[in-house]
Amino acid sequence: MNISYREELKELSPYKPGKPIDDVKREYGLKEVIKLASNENPLGCSEKAKEAVKAACENLSIYPDGNATLLKEALAKKYNISTDEILPSSGSDEMIDLIAKTFINKGDEIIMADITFPRYIATTKMMGGIPKIVPLKNYTYDLDGMLKAITDKTKLIWLCNPNNPTGTMVSEKDIINFLDKVPENVVVAYDEAYREYVTRKDYPMDSIKFVKTYPNVLTMRTFSKAYGLAGIRVAYTIANKEIIENINKVRGPFNVNSLAQIAAIAALEDKEFLQKCFDVNVEGKKYLYDEFEKMGLFFPPSETNHIFVDVKKNGNEVFMEMQKRGVIIRPMGGTFIRVSIGTMEENKKFVEVLKEVLNN
Ligand SMILES: *Cc1c(COP(=O)(O)O)cnc(C)c1O
């Protein structure tokens, strides 16, 4: 072919999702397969969200509200902020893209961790930015290392707290100390996809005050994890008005579909469901910690719905062997795997199969 593609695409490869459950069933002739690979909510989503979506199916021929007015109003009320400080998106995935399109010029230096959410580096490269990788320290974001990596070419810093895939977090005190030192012209994109699962008291649960104090900070939250709405694609960012106005220039006019807007509003109101998800996650985490300890496997403590664990064998092989036995997890390079915390039944099945594979 004679057509040429953007130079930046040479650096990229398409995202390879794990196999869907039905494919694994067919391939290995299994009746039952569990997936603990994508940090999905094992309890599904709020029944209220489901009911709201069903009712909204009557209006599928109508374009969504491109301004997501009702969702913005619901969020503004909940967090006591103004609607022009909020921007809903089709998942945080889309927001990460939009942030990259809003800020990154070719040649800008973009700071991120080595083991973190892969969309940060992908969108950085897509825009011709230069990734500056700061290794985790003790499986945790090295904020001092990130400060040291700042130069006059630095444009943006991706920060995931707590981190996917290691599950570790940095404290409010450390973040404030960090933000105090980041120059005002450097954007900090703060991703808190797992905030609802955090148990530690020193976590900055009120990140909105960062946005208020530091005009260069924006915070991203999603309905995909604790709210259990990964399939419908809805998230939002909070930032000062000027940043939101500029992101609005690059987003598609109807980026959040109508069912997603309705589901998110209903989900926000269902505090009981959120609490149940938190409780089940705490219980599952404790069970898995105990089992890993009994098996002599190392894991950094997790503040999320997943655990990053050293299985002391090639993680890819462990993944393949577990998949054959009907349990899908995520290999993480080297001897680490990441397992999402499931229902107790799923956790037990996972442990049983892991033991079988590791003892073979
Ligand atoms: C899952 C995840 C997201 C993406 O969530 P969506 O809203 O489903 O796009 C963003 N950031 C991190 C760190 C995640 O783990």
Tell whether ligand 1 has an atom less than 6 A from the beta carbon of residue 235: yes
Nearest CA owner, ligand 1 atom 12 = 193
Is ligand 1 within 6 A of the CB of residue 123?
no
Return left, alpha or beta for 150; rule: phi > 0 is left, psi -120 to 50 is alpha, else beta. Answer: beta
User: Which residues are within 8 A (CB) of 4 and not within 5 positions of it... i.e. 6 or more apart?
Assistant: none
Q: Is 164 in the pocket of ligand 1 (CB under 6 A)?
A: yes
Pocket-testing residue among 15, 45, 93, 160, ligand 1, by greatest number of atoms within 8 A of Cβ: 93
Check pLDDT > 90 for residue 245. Answer: yes
- Tens-place pLDDT, residues 180-229: 999 999 999 999 999 999 999 999 999 999 999 999 999 999 999 999 99
**Phi-psi category of 68—alpha, beta or left, where left has phi over 0 and alpha has psi -120 to 50?**
left
Mutation choice for ligand 1 from 38, 89, 164, 232, CB with most ligand atoms inside 8 A: 164
Domains and CATH numbers, the chain: 11-40+272-359 (3.90.1150.10), 47-269 (3.40.640.10)
Distances (CA, A) of 342 to 19, 21, 38, 286, 317: 18, 15, 11, 12, 22
The Å distance, Cα 193 to ligand 1 centre, comes to 6
This prediction's pTM: 0.97
Residue 230 near ligand 1, beta carbon < 6 Å: yes
pLDDT of 1 reads: 83
Q: Does residue 91 line the site of ligand 1, with CB under 6 A?
A: yes
pLDDT above 90: residue 41 = yes
Query: H helices of 47-193, where?
Result: 47-56, 69-79, 91-103, 119-126, 143-148, 172-181
- The predicted-structure confidence for 272-308, as pLDDT tens digits, reads as follows 999 999 999 999 999 999 999 999 999 999 999 999 9
Torsion of CA 232, 83, 87, 228, to 10 degrees: -30
> Rounded distance, CA 356 to CA 360, Å?
6
CB-ligand 1 contact for 92 (6 Å cutoff) = yes
Could you tell me if the CB of 117 is within 6 A of ligand 1? yes
- Closest atom of ligand 1 to 222 CA is 7
Nearest CA residue ID for atom 11, ligand 1: 193
What is the whole-number distance in angstroms between the Cα of residue 245 and the centre of ligand 1?
23
Q: Which residues pair with 41 in a beta bridge?
A: none
Q: Encode burial over 81-117: b for 16+ CB neighbours within 10 A, e otherwise.
A: bebebbbbbbbbbbbbbbbbbbbbeeebbbbbbebbb
Q: In the chain, which ranges are E strands?
A: 34-35, 86-89, 109-113, 130-134, 154-160, 187-191, 217-222, 235-238, 306-310, 327-328, 330-331, 336-340
Quote the pLDDT of residue 201.
Answer: 98
CA atoms within 13 A on the CB side of 304: 27
Residue located via tokens 């994508």: 38
Contact call for residues 194 and 162 (beta carbons, < 8 A) = yes
On the question of pLDDT at 117 being above 90, the answer is yes
Using only C-alpha atoms, the chain has a radius of gyration, in whole angstroms, of 21
What tens digit of pLDDT does each residue of 154-192 get?
999 999 999 999 999 999 999 999 999 999 999 999 999
Token pair, residue 67, equals 């301004």
Given a contact cutoff of 8 angstroms between Cβ atoms, the answer to whether 327 and 349 are in contact is: yes
3-state secondary structure of 213: helix
